């Protein structure tokens, strides 16, 4: 499958939709029907004299696949997956509903709340119990709404956490190896691309910027990577606390095992692992290593060494793996401070582009999932730098997951380094 098709399926396929509820949300969820009035967010078209378009519900209901997330659980494919797992009905199973609906405890469901509405407004914006009656009108303010419990979704760190809870997983909800073996698609996620491909139900105009500011695309991409890297380490740490003979294989790199038997590529090559070893999913960590090298070479070297240690720890034991995760999390906290100081300048973006290509040429992105994330980052940088150059050659190498070649990725990266525009 081509990466273009994979991206669109990842955003639109109803088996891997966005987070059901942001962690820590303890308010009652009143349901999407409370937002659907034509005087609220249910207008047929944009309202000219309003600071919001007021057609947000209509866009979600008509165009956003999240609105049909629950209905996907009724599909033949979902029922087949459920049957293989011994689940009587996917549309009633908590392990499915946590990501295919705004799944809430019974006592947190308002009178107009329905699981059948799928991943609705409050799944991302938070339970509206305390802010619904106060979030509009002349006296309303965004800061007051946030104090009452509205999620600050314009903040990339918040948005990434909400999305990652399902698109990556969390300690209590995960597309497990059993689910994938039963037919659930492999998860993939990158914050900026996924938000761009979603149907927009807000307008970034002067009113929006005054209330919420404007986020640089590279800043959103990097902060998304930071959140997903941290969340992955938490998941890895959580699932290493087991007495089971086998770990939860879904937290490892799928392509450690799922690649053609005749392939000469070894995903463990270059990180001192024996052939056939389970490999940590390190794409986000590698991307962050390249990003921080632009601002702090010493910290980048530290991160590189700790990524290698994480891979080694996975082959030693659960205790060593947990210790390595904790060490890396501390380093990512330091990295966050450096990344968050200010958005990357145009010059830094150009250097980051070069750093990614150099890492790819060395072979740091070793399998298909790694190369997916590399391509998305490079393409975004090209757009931000107003470059006419595209990464069609790299894109073509991702056309078929079964024919992936790490050697060809390295070769293409070297070619791109030679032809990279001067900044």
CATH number of the domain enclosing 55: 1.10.1130.10
Residue 24 pLDDT greater than 70, yes or no = no
Q: Is residue 363 part of a domain?
A: yes
In this predicted structure, what is the pLDDT of residue 51? 87
Q: How many domains does the chain fold into?
A: 2
In this predicted structure, what is the pLDDT of residue 207? 87
For residues 194 and 276, state if they share a domain.
no
Q: Is residue 6 part of a domain?
A: no
For residues 349 and 264, state if they share a domain.
yes
Residue 8 pLDDT greater than 50, yes or no = no
For residues 98 and 178, state if they share a domain.
yes
* 25-66 pLDDT per residue, tens: 789 999 999 999 999 999 998 988 888 889 999 999 999 999
For residues 234 and 350, state if they share a domain.
yes
* 269-290 pLDDT per residue, tens: 566 677 778 889 999 999 999 9
Domain of residue 23 covers 14-212
For residues 279 and 200, state if they share a domain.
no
Q: What are phi and psi of 281, to 5 degrees?
A: -75, 105
Residue 264 pLDDT greater than 80, yes or no = no
End-to-end CA distance of the chain: give it in Å, rounded: 34
Residue 195 pLDDT greater than 70, yes or no = yes
Residue 1 pLDDT greater than 80, yes or no = no
For residues 167 and 229, state if they share a domain.
no
For residues 186 and 102, state if they share a domain.
yes
Q: Is residue 70 part of a domain?
A: yes
Q: If you average pLDDT over residues 129-155, what whole number do you get?
A: 93
In this predicted structure, what is the pLDDT of residue 390? 76
For residues 115 and 146, state if they share a domain.
yes
Tokens of 35: 């937002």
Single out the residue in 197, 212, 227 at which a domain terminates: 212
pTM above 0.85, yes or no: yes
In this predicted structure, what is the pLDDT of residue 32? 97
Single out the residue in 180, 212, 244 at which a domain terminates: 212
In this predicted structure, what is the pLDDT of residue 269? 56
Single out the residue in 148, 182, 212 at which a domain terminates: 212
Average model confidence (pLDDT) across the chain: 89
């Amino acid at each position: 499958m081509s990466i273009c098709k994979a991206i669109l399926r990842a955003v639109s396929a109803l088996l891997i939709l966005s987070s059901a509820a942001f962690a820590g949300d303890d308010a009652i969820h009143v349901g999407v029907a409370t937002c659907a009035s034509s005087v609220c967010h249910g207008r047929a078209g944009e309202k000219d004299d309003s600071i919001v378009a007021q057609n947000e519900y209509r866009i979600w209901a008509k165009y956003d696949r999240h609105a049909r997330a629950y209905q996907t659980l009724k599909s033949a494919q979902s029922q087949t997956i459920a049957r293989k797992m011994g689940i009587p009905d996917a549309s009633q199973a908590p392990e499915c509903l946590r990501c295919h609906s705004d799944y809430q405890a019974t006592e947190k469901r308002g009178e107009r709340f329905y699981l059948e509405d799928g991943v609705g407004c409050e799944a991302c914006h938070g339970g509206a119990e305390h802010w619904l009656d106060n979030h509009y009108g002349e006296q309303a303010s965004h800061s007051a709404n946030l104090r009452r419990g509205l999620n600050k979704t314009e903040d990339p760190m918040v948005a990434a956490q909400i999305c990652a809870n399902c698109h990556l997983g969390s300690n209590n909800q995960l597309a497990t190896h059993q689910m994938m073996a039963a037919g659930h698609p492999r998860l993939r996620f990158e914050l900026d691309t996924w938000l761009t491909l979603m149907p927009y139900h807000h307008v970034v105009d002067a009113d929006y910027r005054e209330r919420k500011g404007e986020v640089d695309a590279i800043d959103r991409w990097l902060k998304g990577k930071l959140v997903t890297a941290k969340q992955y380490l938490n998941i890895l740490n959580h699932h290493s606390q087991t007495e089971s003979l086998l770990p939860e294989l879904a937290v490892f790199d799928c392509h450690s095992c799922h690649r053609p038997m005749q392939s000469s590529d070894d995903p463990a090559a270059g990180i001192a692992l024996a052939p056939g070893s389970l490999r940590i999913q390190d794409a986000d960590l590698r991307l962050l290593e390249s990003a921080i090298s632009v601002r702090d070479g010493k910290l980048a070297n530290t991160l590189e060494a700790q990524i290698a240690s994480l891979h080694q720890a996975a082959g030693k034991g659960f205790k060593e793996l947990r210790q390595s995760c904790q060490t890396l999390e501390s380093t990512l906290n330091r990295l966050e401070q450096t990344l968050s100081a200010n958005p990357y300048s145009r010059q830094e973006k150009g250097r980051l582009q070069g750093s990614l290509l150099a890492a790819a040429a060395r072979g740091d992105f070793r399998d298909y999932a790694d190369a997916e994330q590399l391509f998305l980052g490079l393409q975004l940088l090209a757009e931000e730098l107003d470059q006419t150059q595209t990464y069609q050659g790299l894109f073509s190498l991702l056309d078929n997951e079964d024919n992936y070649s790490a050697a060809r990725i390295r070769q293409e990266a070297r070619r791109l380094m030679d032809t990279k525009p001067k900044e």
